[in-house]
Structure 1
Amino acid sequence: MPYGSLALPARIFLLAWDTGKNRIAGAPDLHYAVRACALAELAQRGLLSDADGIVTPVFGARTGNPVLDGLLELVEESRPRKWRGWITHKSRHTLDAVRDQLAAEGYLRTERTRIFGIFPSRRYELERAGYVEVLHAEALAVLRGPVPVHEVPAGDAALVVCAATGKLRGVVPGKERRQHNERLAALTDRAGAAAPELPELMRTLRKALASAVASAEAARSGGGGG
């Protein structure tokens, strides 16, 4: 996927954008999927590891990407947590940082508005619809094939796994998740191709994301609001 310098959290944010409606749609738990992508990329870069289920950073390491580095700093400064804990803890901070980064780099346009004519707010509109449409098409190609899983870049594999597990319905509808469940399992391992310990870590991360999303869905259906 030729997406320049965009990291996985930014790419999954754009994947959730409905270009027809010009807004994010079908992704109520996008903040969890964005955080999972950030964790996956840091792990792929060797900056996060698993120590008996605990997310462990390389202290002092930085990537130069403000979103990834912001999460690294948060992990360093916080009490130890498991992967599910890091998917949910202050996950909207990462979502906001991604949105600000995309606006600064010209992928989104920001307009200042007022709610009810009183409360200041910001509205975001997509500036690069063609880019997002290509991103969608390439993500679906990773999910459906025909490219063999072992030829899929590890980052692309992680992106699609997080999009499916995070239930971004505009990208991977429920029917597609079920239909391609075996390929998603293989893509999960492919996301950890860089090091022997990474496939198990990616499987753990996928389970943690699925658990966080399931809990949010249960809260919404029970009137808890997620």
Structure 2
Amino acid sequence: MNFATLSLPARLFLLSWHPEKRKFSGGPDLHLTVRAGALAELAGRGLLVEADRVVTPATVGERTGDPVLDALLELVEQSRPRTWRGWITHRSRATLNAVRADLAAHGYLREGRRRVLGLFPARHWELERVGYAEALHAEALAVLRGPRPAEEIDPGEAALVVCAATGKLRSVVTGKDRRRYKDRLAELTDRAGGATPELRALMRDLRRALASAVASAEAARSSGGGGGGG
């Protein structure tokens, strides 16, 4: 199945659907993972660059045609300079909400209603294209586990798996998988950067930033402080 028509953040959101539980279960830091995926795609397209740890647009005013990616580009242009971690956490839930809205508009999701404790109305999302999500999971696991050499993997597929693993998207990559395939994930991180040393270094920096943001969010929850980005 060809997933090229969907952006990296959209595919990451669909990976948060758990095939066995038959529901979305991406965890509390899904917004950080989805934002990192959007940044990775923009960087891979050459639209974001990093200099002295600061991330800026390569060319002001350039757009992709994807509403989610373009909204993030506009935010980067209009805001003060930030590091990768700063951009992973800054207003990251806005990107998650935009991804869900765009997927719903294109028939991948359906918004539902339910009551918490039988009393309070709450919004939730139901997957419309189950087969699509199942195939996406299968392809992501094949990329993670091999045996295809990393250099033969499409850079976008490599970035998808690296973001899912680093963001602890347990619906597709377990903690055991992250430990077992540690070296493979390092290879996939470089592959996500394509052919240029600069982009490979950029992807390594982005992966470290996502790991740091998730670790901080976990620490904040453990101490009762919430956390995770706005």
Q: What TM-score does the superposition give when structure 2 sets the normalisation length?
A: 0.93
Q: Offset of 1:123 from its aligned partner?
A: 2.5
Distance 2:188 2:158 in 1: 5
Unpaired runs of at least 5, structure 1: none
Pairing 1:87–2:84 present: no
Distance 2:17 2:165 in 1: 15
Pairing 1:204–2:205 present: yes
Match of residue 102 from structure 1:
103
Match of residue 46 from structure 2:
46
SS in 2 for 1:111: strand
Pairing 1:10–2:10 present: yes
Q: Offset of 1:19 from its aligned partner?
A: 3.5
Q: Could you tell me whether the CA contact under 8 Å between 1:44 and 1:194 is conserved in 2?
A: no
Distance 2:187 2:117 in 1: 49
Pairing 1:37–2:37 present: yes
With 102-111 and 68-77 compared, the bigger mean Cα shift is at 102-111
Task: Note the alpha carbon deviations across 1:141-176, whole angstroms, 9 max, x for none.
Answer: 100101100000000000000000000112111111
Distance 1:194 1:69 in 2: 25
C-alpha spacing 1:77/1:206, structure 2 compared with 1 (3 Å): same
Equivalence map 1:17-166=2 (5 Å): 17-57=17-57, 58-112=59-113, 121-166=122-167
SS in 1 for 2:197: coil
Q: Offset of 1:112 from its aligned partner?
A: 4.6
Distance 1:194 1:67 in 2: 26
C-alpha spacing 1:155/1:137, structure 2 compared with 1 (3 Å): same
Distance 2:183 2:173 in 1: 15
Q: Could you tell me whether the CA contact under 8 Å between 1:161 and 1:188 is conserved in 2?
A: yes
Distance 2:44 2:150 in 1: 17
Q: Could you tell me whether the CA contact under 8 Å between 2:31 and 2:95 is conserved in 1?
A: yes
Letter in 2 for 1:215: S
User: 4+ runs of 1 displaced by more than 2 Å?
Assistant: 19-23, 111-123
Unpaired runs of at least 5, structure 2: none
Q: Could you tell me whether the CA contact under 8 Å between 2:18 and 2:172 is conserved in 1?
A: no
SS in 2 for 1:197: helix
Q: Could you tell me whether the CA contact under 8 Å between 1:22 and 1:125 is conserved in 2?
A: no
Calculate the aligned-residue CA RMSD, in Å.
1.7
Letter in 2 for 1:98: V
C-alpha spacing 1:68/1:56, structure 2 compared with 1 (3 Å): same
Letter in 2 for 1:195: T
Distance 1:116 1:146 in 2: 47
Identity value in percent: 69
Q: What TM-score does the superposition give when structure 1 sets the normalisation length?
A: 0.95
Match of residue 225 from structure 2:
224
